Amino acid sequence: MSTKDYLEKDYYKVLGVSKTATKDEIRSSYRKLARENHPDANRDDPKAEDRFKEISEAYNVLSDENRRKEYDEARSMFGGSYRPGGGTGPGGFDMSDIFGQGGGGGGGAPGGERLSDIFGGLFGNRSRSGQATRSRRGADIETETTLNFREAADGVTRSFQLTSEAPCVTCKGTGARVGSAPRMCPKCSGTGHENTNLGGFSLSEPCSECKGRGLVVDDPCPTCTGSGRGKSTRTIQTRIPGGVSDGQRIRIKAKGAPGENGGPAGDLYIVVHVKDHPVFGRNGDNVTITVPVSFPEAALGADVRVPTLSGFPVTVKVPPGTQNGRTLRVRGKGATRKDGTIGDMLVTFEVKVPQALNDDAREALEKFRAATSDYDPRDGLEARAKGA
């Protein structure tokens, strides 16, 4: 509805209720009027349909708390001609007096009764499916992101562009062109489903005319082509905690699709991909690194410089007699833990053997072999192979 519509149309007058009418008063008044003016019940009155549309439009606005508020505000701000309740009928307005449907006739129009059942069904249906009033939690959204190794270890703030289902912005979800309103689906009489009799039992299916909505739109909203659904795109920023690992799915509470009618937002799930690092690896909260050492460094011991994730190398002592594959722990140089503390770095030494030797090196090694001839690294290997 445009502000112009709001200013020109007195929805309270259309529904015959006071400006302070309660939801129930508005609903019961609408039901009576809609029943009276329903096109199916007034086939020989071409104006009935217009009245019916007008009534539907008024009800669409006044039955929705937010839109009613908007409407009231627009009119109190700009509507000089608008006089609340002025002579149009106070809250106690009794429709049955006017339309003669009250205690008047025990034999009241059977057609009217049927329609009232139908309308009961329509509104029961609408409130069950939550279209009209019920608040609904927003949907969960899943997205993904790729982090480099360091971002995954330390945590990082990322922005995400999220697209979710939302009521169409142009028509506010009615599906009807602004200024018009949807009407009850004539095929299913607003129930949203149709029953096919299969001889013996009947099958209930979503109405083919209105696709289960219970409402049809004569003049569709050009933005959503009548569906009433739209997409909302938002950008959110969120912190991805440190210590996430490749393939992990993290949940960010209440950052999913917004709720409807005041319902809570859904959650956002982020599937994290972590790129491999050429040097560092991860083992839980610990960062791993393999550091090559020469045979003399391993045998004699040495101080070696080891790079860390932060970029500042540390000096690590290789103990004399270090075996290939030995792992040392360097505290506080790992990934950030959930509680904000820092994990460790696990340094694994890999003893490298030179592929080519110069004469001096060869001579020295020959001397070394002679000097260690009583050391047999395979001592007892064959015996162990036979045993067990």
Interface residue list for Zn ion (CB under 5 A): 168, 170-171, 185, 187-188, 207, 209-210, 221, 223-224
- Considering beta carbons, is residue 179 or 301 the nearer one to Zn ion? 179
Decide: 88 and 9 in contact? Cβ < 8 Å.
no
Instruction: State how far the Cα of 162 lies from the Cα of 137, in Å rounded to an integer.
Output: 17
- Considering beta carbons, is residue 49 or 209 the nearer one to Zn ion? 209
CB of 261 vs Zn ion, minimal distance in Å: 18
Which one, of 188, 58, 55, lies nearest residue 118 by Cα? 188
- Considering beta carbons, is residue 84 or 179 the nearer one to Zn ion? 179
CB of 31 vs Zn ion, minimal distance in Å: 19
CB of 56 vs Zn ion, minimal distance in Å: 15
CB of 125 vs Zn ion, minimal distance in Å: 11
- Considering beta carbons, is residue 145 or 174 the nearer one to Zn ion? 174
- Considering beta carbons, is residue 171 or 287 the nearer one to Zn ion? 171
DSSP 237-286: EEEEETT--TT-EEEETT-SSPPBTTPPP--EEEEEEE---SSEEEETTE
CB of 102 vs Zn ion, minimal distance in Å: 31
CB of 188 vs Zn ion, minimal distance in Å: 3
Bridge-based pairing of strands 141-147 and 215-216 is unpaired
Tokens coding 183 = 């009407």
CB of 184 vs Zn ion, minimal distance in Å: 8
- Considering beta carbons, is residue 85 or 179 the nearer one to Zn ion? 179
Which one, of 136, 138, 139, 140, lies nearest residue 268 by Cα? 140
Decide: 57 and 11 in contact? Cβ < 8 Å.
yes
Which one, of 219, 228, 223, lies nearest residue 175 by Cα? 228
CB of 6 vs Zn ion, minimal distance in Å: 18
- Considering beta carbons, is residue 21 or 115 the nearer one to Zn ion? 115
- Considering beta carbons, is residue 223 or 288 the nearer one to Zn ion? 223
Report in angstroms the alpha-carbon separations of 177 from 37, 63, 180, 226, 292. 22, 19, 6, 8, 72
Instruction: State how far the Cα of 220 lies from the Cα of 228, in Å rounded to an integer.
Output: 9
- Considering beta carbons, is residue 210 or 347 the nearer one to Zn ion? 210
Which one, of 144, 139, 137, 182, lies nearest residue 161 by Cα? 144
Q: At what angle do helices 23-37 and 47-62 cross, to 10 degrees?
A: 170
- Considering beta carbons, is residue 15 or 224 the nearer one to Zn ion? 224
Instruction: State how far the Cα of 21 lies from the Cα of 25, in Å rounded to an integer.
Output: 6
- CB neighbours of residue 181 within 10 Å: 24
- CB neighbours of residue 36 within 10 Å: 19
Tokens coding 98 = 């006017």
CB of 187 vs Zn ion, minimal distance in Å: 5
CB of 209 vs Zn ion, minimal distance in Å: 4
